[in-house]
Amino acid sequence: MANPPNVREPETRESAARVAAQRPGTHRGWAETRKQLRAAATTEPGRLWIIGTVVALLVVAFGGVTAWEISDRSAAASDVVSRSQPLSADAASIYRSLADADTAAASGFLAGGQEPLDVRKRYDTDIATASRLLVKAAANTTGSAESAQQIATMNEQLPLYNGLIEQARANNRQGFPVGGAYLRFANQKMSTSLLPAAQKLYEAETGRLYDDYDQADTWPYAATALGLVALGGLAWVQRRNFLRTNRVFNHGLLAATAASTVVLLWLVVGHAVASSDLSTSRAHGQESLKVLNDARISSLQARANENLTLVARGAVLNDDGKDLYEASFTKEMASLSGKLGAAKSLADDAAGKDPVTKAVGDMDEWQKRHTAARKTDDSGDYDGALTQVIGATGSTGECFDQVDKALDSAIAHEQHEFTTAASDGRGALTGLPLGAAVLAVLAAAGAGVGISRRLAEYR
């Protein structure tokens, strides 16, 4: 049968293979490419070209992976300093402000119808601080459903709590006993809604902080492995070159080796220093801050319960039939004692230990004065007990203020310790991603120049 018109049959198998090889994406085309590579590898120039290409790709891959991994660690270290730790600190401040506002409200109520100006100012400042920090937290906790939920809860409950406090004040000024009920209801809302939400927010933001710590501290294994492989490849090429030509140095390959060595050392030393500084900021900064913030919260809750013991006058009992607020005071003071002991053990210098030691002494005195005030109250002398609790001098309130002041000083010191160490850790990684990329390109160029010099000898 005759062939169709206008179609030429390939004359030989070879011509058919050439036609197939010219078709992009065909198996025959790839087979031909491999055949050409095998043929090139049988000659020294071809082998040099392949070796140079592989070494250059290795060096570029090393620089690229280093830049990628260190950029990730650097971003996490930056988050520790500028995002997650400040948010954790703000969450602790929200809790402290709310607890302190509750304490100030109870103190002002105990003072009678004419609430002291400084106590009222303290309450207003606490509420304003909590409101401002809630707005800030809402703007900066994007992506955290847990944090958003707790912030929404506090934004909803805080105006209700403030309204109850105003009702308590209004009734107290007129001498109506119902004012105490409003105050206890406000305290219940604070204890069951606001403070638990603030605690969950603090835990969520602290969890994010520790996640950032872990991410920043993860060793860049891929970059380190590629760096060792790249240096091994460069050493092998230079040894091969020496054995074949008896020339000790190839300036291009030597420059590539030097640049790759600098990147690897920078990577190892920089990350090790950053990891050490971040570990220091975590162990001697953040951990101390967490314990100190918890201690401060316990002292605030103890003070609020102490005040409410006098407000309720035994009207609110727990399941054991004992005064609820007195039992809560005892529990919080025990918690405060334990946390102060932990804070003292975590402090690594005198500037951190001294305020905690003072807080311990003031706490012990607080306990003694509280015991005396309870005896006075139990004997029927309510006014005498009131003076012992909220009096200007010699009262439990004076001890509470001293404990709070000492804890504030300790927190400020540990915050400085954290910021210094964490900032140093972040700084140790500065410039490494860009430097690794630039040096990798230079190393690849050096390897190319070195191989080109050898190839030129065959022309």
The full DSSP string for 255-294 is HHHHHHHHHHHHHHHHHHHHHHHHHHHIIIIIHHHHHHHH
Cβ neighbour number for residue 176 with a 10 Å cutoff: 13
Rounded to whole angstroms, how far apart are CA atoms 438 and 445? 11
Q: How confident is the model at residue 41 (pLDDT cuts 50, 70, 90)?
A: low
Q: How does the average pLDDT of the chain come out, rounded?
A: 85
Rounded to whole angstroms, how far apart are CA atoms 362 and 48? 79
Q: What is the dihedral of CA 156, 158, 160, 164, to 10 degrees?
A: 170
CB 446 within 8 A of CB 249: no
- Identity of residue 420: T
What is the model's pLDDT at position 28? 60
Residue 156 pLDDT more than 90?
A: yes
Q: Hey, CA dihedral for 209, 135, 292, 183, is it positive or negative?
A: negative
Q: How confident is the model at residue 340 (pLDDT cuts 50, 70, 90)?
A: very high
Average pLDDT, integer, range 359-384: 93
Please state the pTM of the whole predicted model.
Answer: 0.77
For 323-337, write each residue's pLDDT tens digit. Answer: 888 898 999 999 999
Q: What is the DSSP letter of 143?
A: T
What is the model's pLDDT at position 180? 85
Tokens for 19, please give them: 């036609």
Residue 273 pLDDT more than 70?
A: yes
Instruction: Report, in angstroms and rounded to the nearest whole number, the Rg of the chain calculated over CA atoms.
Output: 36
How long, in residues, is the chain? Answer: 459
Rounded to whole angstroms, how far apart are CA atoms 190 and 336? 20
Place of tokens 């409410």: 308
In percent, the amount of the chain with pLDDT more than 90 equals: 42
- Identity of residue 225: A
CB 165 within 8 A of CB 183: yes
| Cα 293 to Cα 95, 215, 382, 400, distances in angstroms | 9, 25, 33, 15
For 187-239, write each residue's pLDDT tens digit. Answer: 889 888 999 999 899 989 888 999 999 999 899 999 999 999 999 998 898 88
What is the model's pLDDT at position 38? 65
Place of tokens 């085309």: 29
For 397-434, write each residue's pLDDT tens digit. Answer: 999 999 999 999 999 999 999 999 999 998 988 888 99
CA angle 399, 402, 403 (to 5 degrees): 85
Rounded to whole angstroms, how far apart are CA atoms 414 and 416? 5
Residue 268 pLDDT more than 90?
A: yes
Residue 121 pLDDT more than 60?
A: yes
Q: How confident is the model at residue 141 (pLDDT cuts 50, 70, 90)?
A: confident
